[in-house]
């Protein structure tokens, strides 16, 4: 027997499942979170829930928000269950579940984003947070500057009162707050980007400057944008996850599964106050860059190291990839020889210890995280996670052959077929362009590196470009496993 998740049924939730002990009717909102997917609910929303369980910070509840049609679907599902979420922790020693209640509302998703703008202009809202993916900040991949020519940005600059993007809505709301004398809010990125707070500042200020330079200056001078590192492996929800919630006795339309590990490191830079996240395990630090560099260079890059190889070989999940001896060995060798030399220790964790931690987390058989999900949006993830380490290796004269193999595997994946002949469905916002280039690269490997918007001048580096060319030719001539054997045998 299952119970439908709602405020009225919380007392019926099986006793083994933790649930809110606080009075949810006493919560008042302090945060609008845009992009309310699984990661947010397993991470920031969980930390807030833990605070509320202690009777703390009850004026910091979350209002969900979004700007895409998918977000309206999510809103309807969550509204039907009073914005409650079942979190299922996937522990090899045994799964557990809890119900969290830190979210209290969800803004209607409409064209022009009027309701979202007004909600962010409400004086009670002191933080606007986002999880919009690494590629969602309108960054030029080559220059790392703001992409003012993007059609979305041009629309918002020409129509600042009816924007299409989350950033346009934030700018419009900040304009209302300035005009009404309310004051600024903190913009908080929860995405996997080095310097994510600085990038969010760049996006908002640059967008505002296109239509209202004075507002841009006001935002730059008054708002704060703390950098942060976020970490928790959170698979997508499908039929398996829905069934798992039912096994716990709960009918939840949008349950979330997650690993046993969480980490959140933040700069303590909040212009309008903040919750006491440090009381429930978050870390406030002036060295966020060190933590995020370790994570992005080893965990996020480590995902890209293995998934393109695995997609070509038709291996479907991360745990299954790590069970493959050759790919596992490739991950270990490449991390030790080509990534770790460019990562500095942080308190309590050396880079090699972090590699060992990530190895265990990737190999968790309870986490059914798909190769396809992790490989999504390579055109953002490779420039963000892999290419900076290639540049460091070239500059420091350390090995880059394995990283060149990673890029060759990505080029091979983007050709669109696996080695068993099956098709790879489009898996990148620029899939058509990548596929066209990848097919040309089969005969002319360097044409892949001529995507200067991704690789900049790396095509001009003989050490990297020659290695990339050799790997891609070998992959097409003799197969991915032969390439792995060649790399592992030196």
Q: Is 278 found in the same domain as 300?
A: no
Q: What is the pTM of this model?
A: 0.84
In the block, residue with structure tokens 């009670």:
124
Q: Is 309 found in the same domain as 175?
A: no
Instruction: Give the domain-ending residue among 286, 303, 330.
Output: 286
Instruction: Give the domain-ending residue among 260, 286, 312.
Output: 286
Q: What are phi and psi of 349, to 5 degrees?
A: -155, 115
Q: Is 305 found in the same domain as 193?
A: no
Q: Is 205 found in the same domain as 320?
A: no
The per-residue pLDDT for range 5-62, each reduced to its tens digit, is 999 999 999 999 999 999 999 999 999 999 999 999 999 999 999 999 999 999 999 9
Question: Domain count of the chain?
Answer: 2
Q: Is 127 found in the same domain as 16?
A: yes
Tokens of 186: 């903190």
Residues linked to residue 89 through DSSP beta bridges, in sequence order: 96, 258
Tokens of 220: 């730059």
Q: What is the model's pLDDT at position 417? A: 98
Looking at the chain, the whole-number percentage of residues with pLDDT higher than 70 is 100
Buried b (16+ CB within 10 A) or exposed e, 218-239: bbbeebbbbbbbbbbbbbebee
Task: Please answer whether residues 204 and 34 qualify as being in contact, where contact means their C-beta atoms are separated by less than 8 angstroms.
Answer: no
The per-residue pLDDT for range 214-262, each reduced to its tens digit, is 999 999 999 999 999 999 999 889 999 999 999 999 999 999 999 999 9
The per-residue pLDDT for range 383-442, each reduced to its tens digit, is 989 999 999 999 999 999 999 999 999 999 999 999 999 999 999 999 999 999 999 999
Q: Is 338 found in the same domain as 305?
A: yes
Domain that holds residue 194: 3-286
Q: Is 39 found in the same domain as 151?
A: yes
298: closest CA among 335, 261, 328? Answer: 335
Q: Is 187 found in the same domain as 41?
A: yes
Q: Is 316 found in the same domain as 253?
A: no
pLDDT of 133 strictly over 90: no
Provide the CATH number for the domain around residue 89: 3.40.50.720
Q: Is 340 found in the same domain as 254?
A: no
The per-residue pLDDT for range 259-291, each reduced to its tens digit, is 999 999 999 999 999 999 999 999 999 999 999
CA dist., res. 168 & res. 438, Å (int): 35
Give the SS3 label for residue 93. coil
Backbone φ/ψ region at 428: left (φ over 0), alpha (ψ -120 to 50), beta: beta
The per-residue pLDDT for range 346-366, each reduced to its tens digit, is 988 999 999 999 999 999 999
Inter-CA distances, 290 with 265, 342, 351, Å? 10, 11, 11
Q: What element of type H or E holds 263?
A: strand 263-266
Q: Is 446 found in the same domain as 324?
A: yes
Q: Is 386 found in the same domain as 369?
A: yes
Instruction: Give the domain-ending residue among 286, 316, 338.
Output: 286
**Axis-axis angle for helices 401-414, 301-312 (nearest 10):** 50
Provide the CATH number for the domain around residue 478: 1.10.1040.10
């Amino acid at each position: 027997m299952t119970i439908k998740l709602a405020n009225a049924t919380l007392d019926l939730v099986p006793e083994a499942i933790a649930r809110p002990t606080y009075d949810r009717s006493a919560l008042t909102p302090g945060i609008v979170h845009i992009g309310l997917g699984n990661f947010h609910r397993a991470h920031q929303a969980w930390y807030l829930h833990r605070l509320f369980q202690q009777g703390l910070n009850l004026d910091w509840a979350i209002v969900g928000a979004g700007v895409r049609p998918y977000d309206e679907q999510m809103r309807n599902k969550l509204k039907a269950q009073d914005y409650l979420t079942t979190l299922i922790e996937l522990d090899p020693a045994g799964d557990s579940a809890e119900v969290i209640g830190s979210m209290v509302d969800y803004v209607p998703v409409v064209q022009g984003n009027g309701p979202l703008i007004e909600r962010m202009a409400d004086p009670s809202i002191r933080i606007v947070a986002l999880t919009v993916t690494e590629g969602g900040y309108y960054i030029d991949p080559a220059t790392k500057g703001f992409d003012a020519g993007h059609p979305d940005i041009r629309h918002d600059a020409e129509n600042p009162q009816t924007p299409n993007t989350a950033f346009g809505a934030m700018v419009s709301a900040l304009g209302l707050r300035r005009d009404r004398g309310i004051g600024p809010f903190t913009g908080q990125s929860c995405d996997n980007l080095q310097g994510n707070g600085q990038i969010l500042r760049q996006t908002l200020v640059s967008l505002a400057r296109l239509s209202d330079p004075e507002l841009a200056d006001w935002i730059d001078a008054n708002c704060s944008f703390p950098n942060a590192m976020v970490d928790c492996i959170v698979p997508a929800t499908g039929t398996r996850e829905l069934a798992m919630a039912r096994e716990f006795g709960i009918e939840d339309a949008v349950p979330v599964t997650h690993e046993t590990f969480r980490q959140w490191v933040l700069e303590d830079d909040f212009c309008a106050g903040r919750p006491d996240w440090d009381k429930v395990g978050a870390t406030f630090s002036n060295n966020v860059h060190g933590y995020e560099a370790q994570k992005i260079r080893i965990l996020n890059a480590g995902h890209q190291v293995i998934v393109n190889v695995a997609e070509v070989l038709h291996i479907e999940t991360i745990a299954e990839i790590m069970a493959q001896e050759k790919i596992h060995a490739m991950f270990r060798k490449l991390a030790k020889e080509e990534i770790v030399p460019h990562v500095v220790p942080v308190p309590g964790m050396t880079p090699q210890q972090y590699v060992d931690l990530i190895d265990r987390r990737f190999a968790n058989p309870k986490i059914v995280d798909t190769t396809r999900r992790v490989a999504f949006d390579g055109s953002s993830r490779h420039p963000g996670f892999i290419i900076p380490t290639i540049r460091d290796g070239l500059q420091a004269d350390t090995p880059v052959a394995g990283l060149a193999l990673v890029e060759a595997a990505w080029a091979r994946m983007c050709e669109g077929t696996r080695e068993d002949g099956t098709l790879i469905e489009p898996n990148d916002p620029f899939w058509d362009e990548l596929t066209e280039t990848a097919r040309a690269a089969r005969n002319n490997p360097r044409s892949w590196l001529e995507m200067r918007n991704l690789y900049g001048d790396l095509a001009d580096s003989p050490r990297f470009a020659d290695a990339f060319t050799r790997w891609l030719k070998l992959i097409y001539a003799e197969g991915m496993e032969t390439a792995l054997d060649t790399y592992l045998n030196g």
